Structure 1
Amino acid sequence: MPLLEFNDRGIYCPRAQVYIDPWKPVDRALITHGHADHSRWGNKHYLATRSAAPVIRHRLGEVSLTTVEYGQVTTINGVKFSFHPAGHIIGSAQIRVEYGGEIWVASGDYKLENDGLSEPWEPVRCHHFITESTFGLPVYRWAPQEEVFADINAWWRANQAEGKVSVLTGYALGKAQRLLCGLDHGIGRVYTHGAIENTNEVLRQQGVALPPTIRVTSAVPRKDYPGHLVIATPGAIGQPWMKKFGAASVGTASGWMSLRGARRRRGADRGFVLSDHCDWPALLEAIVLTGAEHVYVTHGYTSIFSKYLRGTGLNAVALETDYEGELAEMATKKEDLDQENAAAE
């Protein structure tokens, strides 16, 4: 019996009778992070890191949730579980599973670049490694985030000189806060979409230091926006909510901006290549650092990436899962969008 197996509900540990990031309701779920494709409603009990818990509760309500610190070992029926930083978003974790000398790591979503906000990724040695492949093609290669933010700030200044509002999109948990921390706040004020500000408030309450923001509401006069910047969810673009800003330039921050045509499809004037997932070189580096001989490739370019890994001598297989990578948080929750649209009318 393998220590971990994959079934129609998710990644399962038969000996401990627990799931990791299940996509269907189960009795006991170990959660790598708070994004909706990894942390779903309906499980009887959840286990996550202490820093991921507030957002999970915010999104799922009053669920039965136990928290652990990074590196803390929890033993269930003889199987040892521990959570280790994944560098993806605040509170994100890789889950190490050990029994009888065999070690697996389920990485969830992760990135190697230290963004200065999330707990930095740490390599965890193992025999079996479960990896995403959201950007598992050689074409995906990220510039250092300092260069990306220099471009974003220059774009904001140029829009300001033209009297325009700069609207920058990123998903509400993770990307929005990373953008907020990378902006030059000496340029002007930063306003936020309601779904983003709701998440900001949860993070601030748990002690995360975020720069000041102003929630976009009907109470803010339209004349206050020109020259300043709004961080919005991608789902808000093209909606009535945007009317309040008048002349605006829309920028999108995503790994998908590497692709020709992606900016146009997102309704953006500018695209900035910034992802909370690994690019091609980082995926390969991470796998080497784990020392794993067996690699299981989920969500993304699974067949291409696993084929490449087999060519390097690894035992790599592609898996079908319900994870979505960077697509998971690209739309605003309907209730938030309805609220913002009502405020715009």
Structure 2
Amino acid sequence: MSTPLLSFTNKGIYCPAGKFYIDPWQPVNDAIITHGHADHSRPGHRQYLTHKDSVSILKYRLGNISINGIGYNETVLKNGVKVSLHPAGHILGSAQVRVEHKGEVWCVSGDYKTGPDPVAVDFEPVKCHTFITECTFGLPAFNWPTEKEVINQIENWWRTNIKSGKVSILTAYALGKAQRILAMIDTSIGPIYSHGAVDAINQIYQKEGFLSGHFPYVDPSTPKQQLEGALIIAPPSAVGSAWGNKWKPLSIGMASGWMMLRGSRRRRNVDGGFVLSDHADWKGLNTAIKETGAENIICTHGYTEAFSEWLNHLGYNAVSEKTLYEGESLENKAEEQ
């Protein structure tokens, strides 16, 4: 039996022919990184390769690393193996990794979203023989409303809070989702501020030309009267902290794909739950897989067993593999870093 082009090891997804890893979770010599969230871009690798728009994010998060950035659809050779990056639509610089050797093509999706995004390049399907897909939301229950619907809900919640004399704190991952909201929200409703973790990423997005506007950093020294009628974008970890409690009376909202499920809002003790995710929903996953033309599907992080069973029912050759990627989790702090 021939060695597969990519294999799952205790360090991550490995290409034996090319001698490189994709999003490894243990230190390696040669790492290709799909995007800047902490569960996919870890410290300790000798050499990093990523999309050029992710370079600043990785340097901000990981410090002084040896890193190269390339554009979408640009091909590099690694020990005779062709590697190229293609838009994943997840966050700024997010990429799928296409790997080709001796006529065989695999694609590693990383995290991806098939809908539109004002601050990321839209997802593009990659034709391949084997597709490694995430399935964070790989159940039929997950069907996203339109972005316009969700933003309207957030804006109405904010207006209601203004009338009630409350500060609005909307929690969203500091890297990606926060900037997506800021790019779409109606800034004429009132002042908009950013938690320090969000502000740091905003600056990277603005430098790369993917976000405009002024969303000042707010800290405990900010006078409370300055925040009258304000919306503050903050990571979920800020809720319940001394930082958040300073702004009472307040109303807390959360933007997450998990808000689709009953009870999620209650468990997180938030007043407003808004269904907004940077991952593909059920329809998006199925459409993306179909458009790859792949016969072999490997399901990672999410509802892997249920989703692979579904794909096998459709006629694919689907299996699941365990990884240390966490996707979008209500309890996960990886993407806030």
TM range (shorter): over 0.9
Separation in 1, partners of 2:320, 2:17: 24
Q: CA deviation at 1:242?
A: 1.1
How many residue pairs were aligned?
A: 335
Q: How does 1:283-294 map to 2 (within 5 A)?
A: 283-294=285-296
2:329 matched residue in structure 1: 327
Percent identity between the aligned chains?
A: 50
Where structure 2 has 5 or more consecutive residues not aligned to the other structure, the ranges are: none
2:150 matched residue in structure 1: 148
1:7 matched residue in structure 2: 9
3-state DSSP of counterpart to 1:117: coil
Query: Is the CA contact (8 Å cut-off) linking 2:299 and 2:319 kept in structure 1?
Result: yes
Query: Is the CA contact (8 Å cut-off) linking 2:136 and 2:328 kept in structure 1?
Result: yes
1:125 matched residue in structure 2: 127
Q: CA deviation at 1:332?
A: 7.8
Separation in 2, partners of 1:195, 1:27: 30
1:219 matched residue in structure 2: 221
Separation in 2, partners of 1:54, 1:290: 30
3-state DSSP of counterpart to 2:328: helix
User: Structure 1 residues 328, 265: closer, same or farther in 2, change over 3 A?
Assistant: closer
1:77 matched residue in structure 2: 79
User: Structure 1 residues 164, 256: closer, same or farther in 2, change over 3 A?
Assistant: same
Alpha-carbon displacement from aligned partner over 1:218-252 (angstroms, at most 9, x marks no partner): 33211111211000110010111112211111000
Separation in 2, partners of 1:95, 1:64: 19
1:263 matched residue in structure 2: 265
3-state DSSP of counterpart to 1:52: helix
User: Structure 1 residues 40, 287: closer, same or farther in 2, change over 3 A?
Assistant: same
Q: CA deviation at 1:328?
A: 8.7
Q: Which amino acid aligns with 2:201?
A: T
Alpha-carbon displacement from aligned partner over 1:143-195 (angstroms, at most 9, x marks no partner): 11111101111111111111111110001100110111121100011111111
Q: Which amino acid aligns with 1:144?
A: T
Are 1:86 and 2:88 matched, yes or no?
Answer: yes
Q: Which amino acid aligns with 2:77?
A: T
Query: Is the CA contact (8 Å cut-off) linking 1:11 and 1:19 kept in structure 2?
Result: yes
Q: CA deviation at 1:128?
A: 0.2
Moved over 6 A (4+): none
Q: How does 1:129-140 map to 2 (within 5 A)?
A: 129-140=131-142
Are 1:277 and 2:310 matched, yes or no?
Answer: no
2:200 matched residue in structure 1: 198
Q: How does 1:30-41 map to 2 (within 5 A)?
A: 30-41=32-43
Q: CA deviation at 1:329?
A: 8.8
Query: Is the CA contact (8 Å cut-off) linking 1:238 and 1:267 kept in structure 2?
Result: no
3-state DSSP of counterpart to 1:325: coil
Q: How does 1:235-250 map to 2 (within 5 A)?
A: 235-250=237-252
Query: Is the CA contact (8 Å cut-off) linking 1:81 and 1:95 kept in structure 2?
Result: yes
Q: Which amino acid aligns with 2:114?
A: L
Q: Which amino acid aligns with 1:150?
A: N
Separation in 2, partners of 1:65, 1:78: 20
1:342 matched residue in structure 2: none
User: Structure 1 residues 122, 197: closer, same or farther in 2, change over 3 A?
Assistant: same
Q: Which amino acid aligns with 2:279?
A: H
Query: Is the CA contact (8 Å cut-off) linking 2:33 and 2:49 kept in structure 1?
Result: yes
